[in-house]
Amino acid sequence: MAGIYIHVPFCSQFCTYCDFYSVKEGRRSLDFLSALIVESESKRGFFKGAESHSQTLYFGGGTPSLIDPQELGKIARTVCIHHGFNPPESLDEFTVEVNPDDASLTYLKSLYSNGVRRLSMGIQSFNENHLRWMNRRHSAAAAVKAFYNAREAGFDNISIDLIFGFEGMSTEEWRFNLLKATELYPEHISSYQMSIEPRTKLGKEYAKGSYTPPEDSTSYNQYSLLQKTLEEAGYIQYEVSSFALRGREALHNSRYWDRTPYLGLGPAAHSFDGERRFGNRSSLTAYIKRFSAEGKAEASQPGYRERYISSERLSSKDVFNETLMLSLRRVAGLNLRHIEGLVNQNEFSRFMVRVDRMLLSGDLELSGENIKIPPGRLFLSDGIIRDLFC
């Protein structure tokens, strides 16, 4: 498989909880789009034989829907040419993240005419009080309107995001959100527990003591309700946070979990070539400079890579732990043969002792050569996986 992620770093306002790199939209969007083309051109050859692979393209952010659809289409077509991909409308999956407030029928029809075939809508909640607290731009009514606009525009593959496990949301309010989501019946639902990141407004409130997360038991009950409600509505859980109608799993996100190579373009975007992870610095100013004539002139100077790029070559133990983590987040689990040769025999034997202990406790299940976390324990997956690391 071959996948490309493009990070659009612009936001018109910042969510209370979001830690993804973003800046206020402004006059630098044209410079950003020009730099994006230069970066893509410079990374030709990242995929060898991409024409023979499953091909996916994903615009994330930030808020990609702040960019004109014609410009997004131009970027998509150019990037596909650079990397030997099919035209955008013929990709296996072409997704754009859309803020409901931007999703007018005209905008969505233009996205569709530019080859986009899948939308990811950051709805998060259908409760007005929650949306205001999160500092979301849209209202609950706007979210519903955006969804139906997308259907009218021709989209038959829509994912929506929902958040649970935050102070002030009752289980009944969460039940309402889930029932509203299943009433819309999108092809895919991603649902995440609210996380507290230090650099966000929420993180700062938590540090001051003005935000108190709910008890773990409350979040666990909300997660269990999520699983039960979506299963009853016909959704299949295939990853800790991901639910889909049959055959509508997210292809692009799946490549991250499979550890297949992917290319990231844009500020703060990361790539994986099968052996190394590397990423662009989280700075729009540095990104635009790097892919300008001034940046090219700097390329031969000492410290160039350190100023603009982070890079990490993974050890065998890194690969072992990463494969373990990404596989056990998926409902299908992990084939033990896939990791057996990545660490020495003593380390693997100690790992299997931990596996046996968790099989007895019920934190893991064994099916042939596969281990997996049972559905009722997926909420605890982070701790289970951490205890298995070498």
Q: What is the pLDDT of residue 27?
A: 73
Six-digit token pair at 251?
């292809």
Predicted model pTM = 0.95
105-119 pLDDT, tens digit each: 999 999 999 999 999
173-203 pLDDT, tens digit each: 999 999 999 999 999 999 999 999 999 999 9
Give every strand in the sheet of 370-372, ordered side by side: 334-335, 370-372, 365-367
Paired with 366 in beta bridges are 371
CATH 3.20.20.70 domain extents, the chain: 2-258
Paired with 58 in beta bridges are 5, 95
Distance separating alpha carbons of residues 24 and 10, to the nearest angstrom? 6
Decide if 11 contacts 22 (C-beta within 8 A): yes
Find all residues with CB under 8 Å of 86, minimum gap 6, and list them.
51, 55, 80
Q: What is the pLDDT of residue 315?
A: 93
HEC profile of 70-87 = HHHHHHHHHHHHHCCCCC
Q: What is the pLDDT of residue 220?
A: 98
Burial of 52: CB neighbours in 10 Å, binned 0-12, 13-18, 19+: exposed
Q: Of 46-60, 72-86, 127-141, 279-293, which range is least confident? A: 46-60
The CATH T-level fold of domain 2-258 is TIM Barrel (3.20.20)
**Among 109, 122, 19, CA closest to 64:** 122
Distance separating alpha carbons of residues 351 and 365, to the nearest angstrom? 15
Distance separating alpha carbons of residues 199 and 201, to the nearest angstrom? 7
CATH architecture classification, 316-388: Orthogonal Bundle (1.10)
Distance separating alpha carbons of residues 160 and 241, to the nearest angstrom? 12
CATH 1.10.10.920 domain extents, the chain: 316-388
User: Checking phi first, is residue 303 left (phi over 0); if not, alpha (psi -120 to 50) or beta?
Assistant: left
Q: What percent of the chain has pLDDT over 90?
A: 86
User: Checking phi first, is residue 115 left (phi over 0); if not, alpha (psi -120 to 50) or beta?
Assistant: left
Q: Of 96-105, 186-195, 235-244, 288-297, which range is least confident? A: 288-297
